[in-house]
């Protein structure tokens, strides 16, 4: 299994990456500000469920295959970007956002959760994290490589939950205050939609692409 000092070093490295805001954090805070703390928490839970998917995929060795194939990697990359653009367009055109009337709560929370899963599963930066950083802390001589990957991935998951929940609750508190302002209620869909569109474009054009064509 993973040596204690290796686990400690990985925890420090993972924490340094988690606390830096990225697309997942922007997505969570956007939902919290626009729809409330509960929607933000649901989004955070969805994002971290996506992290568990990455942990399972990495432990099974499938992430390596994605990284080695330019077609597979770029398919994941552009699918994620397209989904973010779709969220942006849907937000801008949504009628209930224009009138300031919230969607039904159960449906809204479920949608926030599922969209969080999709956003993180198709986040190429997360895939690259599990490919580039995590393997550096795996000791093949220690055996049980899938178990080591799973343990390190769960550490990343725990840190992500703590960080995402902090952002969700904090942004939700700010959003509750903002939603009492009529001007914010009228403009929030444009801000939210623009953020989603910007994230989609950024995901499509930023970051490295796989070089091999296996």
Please give the pLDDT value at position 68.
66
Across the chain, how many H-helices and E-strands are there? 10, 0
What percentage of residues in the chain have a pLDDT greater than 70? 72
Phi, psi of 69, deg, nearest 5: -110, 115
CA 97 → CA 100, 104, 121, 204, 211, distances in Å?
A: 5, 12, 27, 27, 42
Q: In the predicted model, is pLDDT for residue 123 greater than 60?
A: yes
Q: What is the separation, in whole angstroms, between the first and last Cα of the chain? A: 31
pLDDT tens sequence across 137-196: 887 777 777 888 899 999 999 999 999 999 999 888 887 666 666 565 556 667 767 777
Quick check: 212 and 73 in contact, CB under 8 A?
no
Please state the pTM of the whole predicted model: 0.70
d(CA 17, CA 22) in angstroms, rounded, equals: 9
CB atoms under 10 Å from CB of 136, counted, come to: 11
**pLDDT, mean over the chain:** 77
């Amino acid at each position: 299994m993973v040596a204690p000092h290796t686990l400690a070093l990985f925890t420090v490295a993972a924490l340094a990456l988690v606390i830096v805001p990225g697309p997942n954090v922007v997505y969570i805070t956007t939902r919290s500000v626009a729809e409330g703390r509960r929607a933000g928490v649901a989004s955070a839970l969805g994002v971290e469920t996506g992290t568990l998917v990455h942990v399972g995929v990495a432990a099974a060795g499938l992430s390596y295959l994605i990284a080695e194939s330019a077609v597979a990697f770029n398919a994941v990359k552009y699918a994620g970007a397209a989904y973010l653009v779709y969220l942006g367009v849907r937000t801008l055109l949504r009628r209930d956002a224009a009138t300031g009337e919230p969607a039904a709560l159960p449906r809204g929370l479920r949608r926030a959760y599922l969209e969080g899963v999709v956003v993180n599963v198709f986040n190429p930066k997360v895939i690259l994290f599990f490919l580039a950083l995590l393997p550096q802390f795996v000791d093949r001589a220690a055996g049980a490589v899938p178990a080591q990957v799973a343990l390190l991935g769960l550490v990343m998951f725990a840190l992500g939950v703590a960080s995402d929940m902090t952002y969700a609750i904090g942004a939700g508190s700010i959003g509750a205050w903002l939603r009492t302002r009529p001007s914010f209620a009228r403009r929030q869909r444009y801000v939210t939609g623009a953020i989603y569109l910007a994230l989609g474009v950024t995901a499509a054009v930023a970051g490295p692409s796989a070089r091999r064509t296996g």
